Amino acid sequence: MNTSLHPRPRLRRRALSIAIPFALCAALPLAAQAQEDTSQDATNLSKITVTGSNIPRTSTETASPVQVISRQEIDRTGKTSIGEYLQSLTVDGAGSVPKTFGNGFAMGSTGISLRGLGAGSTLVLINGRRIASYGLADDGQKVFTDLSSIPMDAVERVEVLKDGASSIYGSDAIAGVVNVILRSDFEGAIFTGSYGTSGDTDGNTRKGTLTAGTGNLDKDGWNAFFSLDVSKTDGIRVSDRRNRKWIGTGDIRPWGYSSANGASQYLGGGLNGGLPTNAPDGAYENADGSWTRLGGCEQFSSVPQEGNNTCLWDLGQFRDLTPDEKAINFFSRGTFRINDSADLYTEFGYSKKTVDFQNTPSGTSGAWGYPGGPVNASSGDGAIVLGPDHPQNPTGQDARLRYSAFDVGPRQTHNENEFMRFLVGVKGSAGDWDYDVGYLHSQSELTNTRKGFLSYSAVRCALEDPNCAGGTWLLGTRAGENPQSLYDFISPTISARAKSRLDIIDARANRSLMDLGGGSLGLAVGAEFRRNEVSLTPQTGTETGDIIGLGYSAYDGVEKTSAVYAELVAPFTDTFEATVAGRVDHYQGGDTAFTPKVGLKWTPAEWIALRATYAEGFRAPNPAESGKGGSAGFSNIVDPVRCAADATLCGAQSVAIITTPNPDLDPEKSKSYTFGIVLQPTSSTTLTLDAWQIKRTDEIGGGDPQQAIAAGDVIRGDNLVNGIPGTGQLLAINTAYVNADSTKVNGLDLDVRQRFDLGEAGQLRLDLQWSHINKFEKTVGDTTYEYAGTHGNCDVTNCIGTPKDRINFGATWDINDFSISAVANYRSSIDNKTAKGEDCASNYADGSPAPGGCKLASFTTVDLSGNWQATDAFSVFASVQNVADRIAPLDPLSYGGFNYNPLDYSGAIGRFFTLGARYTF
C-alpha cells in the first residue's frame, strides 16, 4: 500500500511562497463571473451564463463546460423538489443520496454526486456561496450539502460547472460545482398550490407557495421579497406495491432466486451456511449443534415455506418505500440602494423538515461495532442465548437464539432538521473596480430519534437471567404474555443530535485592465475566511456497542480555512481567449495548497469554438475522517474465502464495516482535464461535445475490505464450510480511514438544442443531454478495479452502480396559451458484477448468473407536463411522471432500493399525477 501519513512542511512552505505572488498578480474572473451573475446586474465581463439559441452563444461560452438549467426545464419534469430534479441529471452518479434511502447514515437528506465521485466531492452553492452541510455525514464520513433545504419555488435557474475543481469557489470541488441561483428581486405576489398522487392513490403530496415582493430598486431605491412554501408528502409502504411484481415483496423466489445464503436479501428467516437466520417464530440451538424452532411460523408469515428448519418472512411487510415528509421553506431578500455606486443586500433562509421512516423489526443476532471494537452477537461468548432457566428453553443449558422481534414492532426513525442561512453584504463600484463584500452564517441542527431498536445488555438480561429487573422476555407465540414494561426495558427510545455551523467572510472585485485584440483584459481577485464546525453525538447506547445491529457514528471538529484567489481572462484576438486562475487555501493547523486552473478557447468561425481546461483540486480531511469518533455501517461484500470453499456461497452478503478515524491523513488531490467543441451551424441549433477526465489521488476512505479479509482482520461466525477452519460466515470487517486509493474517471458529455418556429402552430424546442462514462478505474493498493458498466462501486452509498450511459431527451411545444412538454430519461444496462472481470454478484437458485445472464436491463421512463395560461393572472399546470407506468427492473444487489435500483425510482413508485394552479396578483 503506497500510503503516506506524515506531513511534509518544507514542501508546503515552498508551495505557498510560489502561490501567493501568483494569486495576487495573475488571477482570473471565472468564479466571480458565476457569482456576480446571480444579481442580474453584473457587467459583461462577469457574465458566463450560456445564452442558448443563437450565434452570440458561441462567443459567450467560457472555456469551462457549464450546463445552464432554466426554471422552465425544471418545471416541465413535474419534480417537486430541487434535489429530486438534480438527481435526474445525466451527470449525477454513484454516491448520490436519494430521499428514499431511509436506512442510510444520512437518512432524510438528498445529495448529488457529480461524475459518481461522491456527494462529498460535489460543491453545492446558493447564489455563488456555500451553505452549512447536512448534520449527518453520508456513510459516516462524507460531509455534503442537503439539497432538500433549498426552497424550490425561489429557484431561478441552476448552473452546473462540470470540469472538476474550482480555483474560485473552492479547491475541494473535485467533481464540480452545482450553483443554485435564487431570485434576486421581485414585485407583486404569486400564489401556487398543487396536489399530487400516484396511480395507486397514495404517496399524496400537497404543496402551497406564496411569493410576494415590493419596491423598485431603480425608482424607490429598494426591493424586498419573500418566498414561503409548505409541503406534506405521505409515505408509501413496500407492501403497497404488491401489484408491481418484485417491487412490493422481498420474496423473489417466483423470479428464480433462492431463499438461502442471502440470495434474496429482503427475504428473512432462511438458512445461511446451514444456520437459520432471524425469524419471528424463533429458533434455538441444541447441544448437538442442531436447531429447533419454537413453532408458530404460520402465525407470523404468509409466504410459502420450504421446510429445512426455516421460517421465511417478507421484509417488505414492514419497510417503507418512501418516507413521510413535512417541510416548510422560507427565503427572503432585501436590496437597498446606498448611493449611485453601492447597494446593501441581505438574504435570510429558513427550512424545517421532518422525515419518518419505518424498517423491519430488529433481530437478536448479528455483528456491529463501536469504538471499543466489534460485537458478535451471533456466536462465541457474546452470542444472544436463551438461558437454561428460560421457560422456552428445554435444553437445560445456554442455547443460541435466532429471533426477529415482531412483537417489539418495526424499527422507526424520526428526523427533524432545522436549517438557517443569513447573508449580508455590500456590492457596487469604486473607481474602475466592481466589488462585493459579504458575511454569511449558515447552520443546520438535526435530531434523530429511533424506536424499536433492541438494547444488547437488556436483551441478554431478559433472556438469560431469571431475576432480571426488566422481567423475562417470552418469544414468538408467547409474546402476548409480555407486559409493556418489558418492551420499555429491552427497547428504549434512543436519539442522536447533529450540528453544522458555517461562517464566511468574503470579498471579491473585478475590473478591466486594458484592451487586447479581442476585448478587455479582465482581472478578478478575491479572499475568504470560513469556519466550519460539525458535531454528531452518537445514538444512545452505540458508544458502548449496546444497540443490536446499529452502527456507531460520531464526530466532532472545527475547520478554519483562509483563501485568496485571482483570475485573468485574456481575449488576445477576436478568435482566441485564455483564462488563468490560481487559488491558495490554508487550513489552520494543517495544510496549505495552491491549485491552478487554465482554460483556452479558440473560435475560428462564429459558428464553431474549441475549448479546453486543466485544473487541480485539493480536499483536506474533514472532522468525520480525522477527528474524534468513527463509524460502523453495512455493505454488500463478496467473501472470497467462503466462495472458494463452496461456489454456492459466492453471492454478495451484508457485512458490518467498522471504521475508525485517522488524525494523520493527508489531503486528497485531483487533476482534471476537459476538451470540447461548441457548434452553432444555424441560429436555432446548438451542439456542445466535451471530453473530460478527473483523476483523484490519496483518496480518503476505509481500508479495502478484501485486503482486510485476506489479512484476517474480520469477525466470522462458526458455521464452517465443510468443516474448513476460518470459513465461517463473514460478520464484520475492521478498517480505518487511510489515503490508500486513487480513482480515474473519464467520459463524454453531449448537449444538443434545436428550436423550430412553426408559424401559427407555435414553437417546438428539442434538447438532449447524454453523459457517457468510458472508464471508472479505482486503484486500491496494487489492484485496479474497473467499474464502468458494472454494479460497482458498492462501497459507496446505495450501490447503484456505474451505467455507462445516461440520456435525457426533452421536447416542448408552445402554442398560444398552452405549453406541452415530454422528457424521456434513459439509463443503460449494467453488468451485475462488483467490478469488471469479477464473478456475477448474484445467482438464480439453479446457480446460473442473475439477473438475465448477469445483466441489469436498461430502463427508460417518459414524463409529460402541460401549462395553460388561462388569463394574464391565472394558469393551470399538470404533469404525469412515468406516463407508461413502467416497472423498474429487478435489482438483487442494490441496498438503496427495495429490489430496485435507486436510479429507477420512478419505476418503483409507478405513474404519478400532479395538478396545480398559479395566480399572480
* Tens digits of residue pLDDT in 596-614: 999 999 999 989 999 999 9
pLDDT category, 440, cuts 50, 70, 90? very high
pLDDT value, residue 18: 31
Instruction: Say yes or no to pLDDT of 409 above 80.
Output: yes
Please determine, for residue 764, whether its predicted confidence score (pLDDT) is greater than 50: yes
Is the pLDDT confidence value at 451 over 60? yes
Pairing of strands 730-757, 653-660: parallel
Name the grid cell of 517. Answer: 485584440
**pLDDT for residue 633:** 64
Give per-residue burial for 570-605: e unless 16+ CB within 10 Å, then b. Answer: bbeeebbbbbbbbbbbbbeebbbbbbbbbbbbebee
Cell 443476532 sits at which residue? 365
pLDDT band, very low/low/confident/very high, at 589 (cuts 50, 70, 90): confident
Average predicted confidence (pLDDT) for the chain: 87
C-alpha 555 chain-centroid distance: 19
Does the pLDDT of residue 903 top 80, yes or no? Answer: yes
Q: Residue 125 — pLDDT band, cuts 50, 70, 90?
A: very high
Instruction: Cell 430502463: give the residue.
Output: 859
CA dihedral 113, 775, 608, 156 (to 10 degrees): -10
Q: Give pLDDT, residue 39.
A: 37
Question: pTM, whole model, 2 decimals?
Answer: 0.86
| Res 9: pLDDT | 32
- Choose between 878 and 536: higher pLDDT: 878
Residue 442 has pLDDT above 60, yes or no: yes
pLDDT exceeds cutoff 60 at 10 = no
Minimum mean pLDDT among 273-282, 482-491, 546-555: which range? 546-555
pLDDT band of residue 252 (cuts 50, 70, 90) is: very high
pLDDT digits (tens, 9 = 90+) for 829-838: 999 999 999 9
Q: What is the pLDDT of residue 634?
A: 64
Give the per-residue pLDDT at 488: 97
Residue 298 DSSP label: H
- Give the confidence band of 631 by pLDDT, cuts at 50, 70, 90: low
What's the confidence (pLDDT) of residue 632?
Answer: 62
Most trustworthy range by pLDDT among 266-280, 357-371, 603-617, 627-641: 603-617
Cα–Cα distance for residue pair 600/577, rounded to 1 Å: 6
Q: Between residues 722 and 156, which one has the greater pLDDT?
A: 156
Residue 490 in grid coordinates: 429491552
Predicted local confidence at residue 375, as pLDDT: 83
- Give the model's pLDDT for residue 735: 76
Contact 271, 311 (CB under 8 A): no
Full DSSP string of 39-55: GS---GGG------SST
Backbone φ and ψ of 116, nearest 5°: 70, 20
pLDDT at 873: 95
| Sequential DSSP letters for 692-741 | EEEEEEEEEEEPPHHHHHHHT-EEE-S--STT-TT-SPEEEEEEEEEEEE
What are 501-511's pLDDT values in tens digits? 999 999 999 88
Residue carrying C-alpha cell 445516461: 806
pLDDT one-digit tens code per residue, 542-559: 989 899 988 778 888 888
Q: Which residues contact 522 (CB under 8 A, 6 or more apart)?
A: 28, 29, 45, 510, 511, 512, 513, 568, 569, 570
What integer pLDDT is reported at residue 780 of this predicted model? Answer: 83
Q: Mean of the pLDDT values across residues 447-454? A: 96
209-to-109, 151, 193, 918 alpha-carbon distances in Å: 21, 10, 6, 9
pLDDT bucket at 104, cuts 50 / 70 / 90: low
74 phi, psi to nearest 5 deg: -70, -45
pLDDT in the model for residue 260 = 84
pLDDT at 819 over 70: yes
What's residue 665's pLDDT? 83
Residue 221 pLDDT > 60, yes or no?
yes
Confidence grade of residue 520 (pLDDT, cut at 50, 70, 90): confident
| Proportion of the chain above pLDDT 90, given as a percent | 61
The model's confidence at residue 628, banded by pLDDT at 50, 70 and 90, is low
Q: Region 233-250: what's the mean pLDDT?
A: 95
Q: Is the pLDDT of residue 23 over 60?
A: no
Q: What is the DSSP letter of 88?
A: T
Task: Pick the range with the lowest mean pLDDT from 590-599, 618-627, 887-896.
Answer: 618-627
% residues pLDDT > 70 (the chain): 91
pLDDT at 17 over 50: no
Contacts 24+ apart (CB under 8 A), 47-52: 49/157, 49/159, 52/686, 52/753
Mean pLDDT, rounded, for 129-156: 81
Q: How confident is the model at residue 211 (pLDDT cuts 50, 70, 90)?
A: very high
**In the prediction, which pLDDT does 621 show?**
83
What mean pLDDT do residues 292-314 have?
A: 92
Three cell numbers, residue 703? 481500508
Give the model's pLDDT for residue 139. 67
Rounded Cα distance between 655 and 652, Å, is 9
What integer pLDDT is reported at residue 378 of this predicted model? 87
Per residue in 692-725, pLDDT (tens digit) is: 999 999 988 776 777 778 877 777 877 788 788 8
Higher local confidence (pLDDT), 170 or 494: 494
pLDDT tier for residue 204 given thresholds of 50, 70 and 90: very high
Q: Is the pLDDT of residue 3 over 70?
A: no
Helix (H) or strand (E) holding 907: helix 905-909
